Each structure stands twice: as C-alpha cells, then as structure tokens.
Amino acid sequence: MSDTQRVLTVNNDLPIRTEQKVHNGKVRSVYWLTQEDSARLIKEKAYDVAPGTELAVMVISDRISAFECLWHGENDLDGIPGKGAALNTISAHWFKLFKEKGLADSHILDVPHPLVWIVQKAKPVMIEAIARNYITGSMWRAYSKGERVFCGQQLPEGLTKDQRLPELLITPSTKGILRGVPGIPEVDDVNISRSDIENNVEAFCFKQPHDVDLYEKLLSDAFAVISEELAKQDQVFVDTKFEFGYVTDAAGKEKLIYMDEVGTPDSSRIWDGEQLRSGKVVEKSKEEFRQILLNYFPDADILTNKDRMEERYALARDNELPESVMMQVSKTYTDIAEKITGQPLTVPSDPKTEIIEVLDKQFGIIAQ
C-alpha cells in the first residue's frame, strides 16, 4: 500500500454516533458520544469515572501544521506518514508513566487503535504552560533583543543561544480568551505571571488556591520524568507544553489531571545528545520541519511576519513540498516514537476502515 493511502488527513467525517458538531482542530477531531453511549461504555468498560461523565472519541490525523498553516507534499501526500500514530503513542506512553509514578491521571481512558483515544470530558484549567530547560526559539529571540523578564521571572545576563537555563522555567500563557481579568488582555495566548494566576484563581478555573502549587508540581515532576527517560536514549528534553483539567472519578473524588498531549515532537523540542555535545543542535521534533520551511522558501519573512498572513496562507496552499521532505519528517517522528517506547511503531495501512471496524465491534458507536 502506498504512503498516500496510509496517511489520514480528513478525520472529521467518520460515521461515529454523535448528537454534537464534530470539533475539528489542527490535528485532532473530537466526537462527543451520546449520553446513552457514554453511560453504556462507562458501565461495560468499568472506566474509573463518575456516572454521567461525557466521553468522546478523539481521532488524530497525519496533517502537519507549522506557522499556523497546514502543509502538503507532491504526489498527493497531504500529511506525514506515521505522524498521528507517533504522537498518540508517545503521549499515551508518558501519561501511563506519570500515573505509574504516582503523579496524576490523564483524560485518556482507552487506546483502541493507533490513531484513536477514548477520553473523558475534563474541565480545563485555562493555562497553557511551557516548561523550558534551555533558552532557544522565541525566548532566545526576545532575550537577544534585550528582554530579561519572562512571565514575571528575571533571567540573568550573559546567557547564550541554546544554553541550559539555571533551573526549569515555567512560562504560562492564557488558554483561550479570558474576559474581565485585570491586567490581562482579552486575546488568546497571552503570557502571564504566577502572580496573575494567584490573584485570579477562579478566572483560570482552578478549584482552590493551593491547586496552583499542585499544577506546578505536576508539571515539574512530569518534566523530570520525561527528561530522565529521554536521557537514557541520549536525547535532550528541551521544552514542552502542559495542559491540565479537572475530572471526577467513580468514587466521586474531583482531581487535577494531565490532558491534551505532552512530550511529543509537536508539543516539545527534543535534541540529539551526541550532536549537542559536539556543539550542534539537531532537532528531533517539529522544529526540524519549521527550519526546513524557513530554508526552503526564499522569503522566510512570510513565515514569521504576522502582517503577511494572507501571503503565508497562499504559500502553504499553492506549494507542494518535495516528497523527500515529507518522508524525512516522517522518519523523525517514527524514530523518536520508537526510541521513547522501545517498540516498533504500528502505522495503520488503511486507517479509516480500521477505525470504523474497531469502534463498531468493540464499542458499538458507529452509526448504522
């Protein structure tokens, strides 16, 4: 079977029984199940969730986005072979490890297929928190222009590009638009300080003030877990995004959990350790793809200048990237997934057919 057939790009048209509009994100589509199907599966599968919890099927695609655009390749290669399976497998691996080490649960209840999660509905904390171990990317660009305070935290003078930071730095931003919060602009993805959070606990949807400490501890501990595991593979964990939410378990206990994805090539930077020791940064994440794009197009400013968004959209729409580029990125995702899990990556050969079959036979949620 060709790589084109194995790539899942359209993931919001599956005949999953739902009464709500399918939420189609940049990479994942979410199908909220009916009340009846949710209740039935909670009972049949003995999920550790409160009765009445809403369940969803989350289907990941192989699409690749960068610089706020979706990109495609020649020969009808509209995604990266193996990318979705790699992201799902890596995230599920880390979430399982966090639970085993006594940190916290995640929103994932089941993984019936390499491209599918069954998840529970969580009440999200309205924070996207980036944990950084090195100064690179946008932080380095700001630092090199003289900025020294990041999300209320002072960085020392004299840091150099790609240098390890004195300690793990947590740089949170808003998730979605918060309205009526003093000092915080009403736009998405605004950098905030810890004091902003402490002074507006309810606005950020924390249940109690001490959960701010808990979220930071869960974040720091999880970062350490991933760093230690990657170090065994001589890979360097540079930074990652964390998201959290609240769920209620079968015993009626409300708890803070990890959600979204974590430690993946899409949400993190991972560097090769051997190359870094010789002074060279080799990306094992989507940052590699971003750098390829910056080098591929003559006018890279289109990709970084938000005043040129229409040109950027046209660039992504009208240009087929070489198949060799798409397969190079595929190898990066596949290799890092196999390093992390220690297992060969299972890449579906006929994604849609497989997903429909497993969701019908094992869960009974395919519309007839």
State pLDDT tens for residues 315-351.
999 999 999 999 999 999 999 999 999 999 999 999 9
pLDDT digits (tens, 9 = 90+) for 83-96: 999 999 999 999 99
Q: Give the separation between CA 295 and CA 289, rounded to whole angstroms.
A: 10
Q: Give the separation between CA 103 and CA 282, rounded to whole angstroms.
A: 31
What's the pLDDT at 5?
Answer: 64
pLDDT digits (tens, 9 = 90+) for 139-197: 998 999 999 999 999 999 999 999 999 999 999 999 989 999 888 999 888 999 999 99
Element of type H or E holding 112: strand 108-113
In this structure, the chain runs to a length of 368
At 6, list the tokens.
């194995």
What's the pLDDT at 138?
Answer: 86
The alpha carbon of 325 is separated from its chain's Cα centroid by a whole number of angstroms, namely: 22
Q: Give the separation between CA 268 and CA 265, rounded to whole angstroms.
A: 5
Report which of 185, 169, 187 is spatially closest to residue 306, judged by C-alpha positions.
Answer: 187
Give the residue-averaged pLDDT of 75-82: 94
Superfamily of domain 3-122+342-363: Phosphorylase Kinase; domain 1 (3.30.200.20)
Q: Which amino acid is at 262?
A: V
Q: Give the separation between CA 115 and CA 100, rounded to whole angstroms.
A: 23
Q: Which amino acid is at 70?
A: L
pLDDT digits (tens, 9 = 90+) for 190-239: 999 999 999 999 999 999 999 999 999 999 999 999 999 999 999 999 99
pLDDT at 2 over 60: no
pLDDT at 1 over 70: no
Place of tokens 């192989």: 62
Task: Give the number of other Cβ atoms within 10 Å of residue 204's Cβ.
Answer: 24
Cβ 20 vs Cβ 6: under 8 Å: no
pLDDT at 120 over 50: yes
pLDDT digits (tens, 9 = 90+) for 97-110: 999 999 999 999 99
Q: Give the separation between CA 229 and CA 256, rounded to whole angstroms.
A: 24
Question: pTM for this one?
Answer: 0.94
Provide the β-strand partners of residue 235.
272
178: Cβ–Cβ under 8 A, 6 or more apart, which residues?
126, 184, 186, 200, 203, 204
At 39, list the tokens.
């209740």
Task: Give the number of other Cβ atoms within 10 Å of residue 58's Cβ.
Answer: 19
Q: Give the separation between CA 291 and CA 262, rounded to whole angstroms.
A: 22
125-277 fold: D-amino Acid Aminotransferase; Chain A, domain 1 (3.30.470)
Cβ 55 vs Cβ 42: under 8 Å: yes
Question: CA dist 181 to 176, 202, 206, Å?
Answer: 13, 10, 14
Q: Where are the domains of the chain?
A: 3-122+342-363, 125-277
Range 59-79 burial, b when 16+ CB lie within 10 A, else e: bbbbbbebbebbbbbeeebbb
Q: Are strands 127-134 and 235-248 parallel, antiparallel or unpaired?
A: antiparallel
Using left for φ > 0, alpha for ψ between -120 and 50, and beta otherwise, residue 286 falls in alpha
Q: 3-state class of 132 per DSSP?
A: strand
Cβ 321 vs Cβ 312: under 8 Å: no
Q: Give the separation between CA 267 and CA 202, rounded to whole angstroms.
A: 27
Give the residue-averaged pLDDT of 26-42: 97
The DSSP letter of residue 210 is H
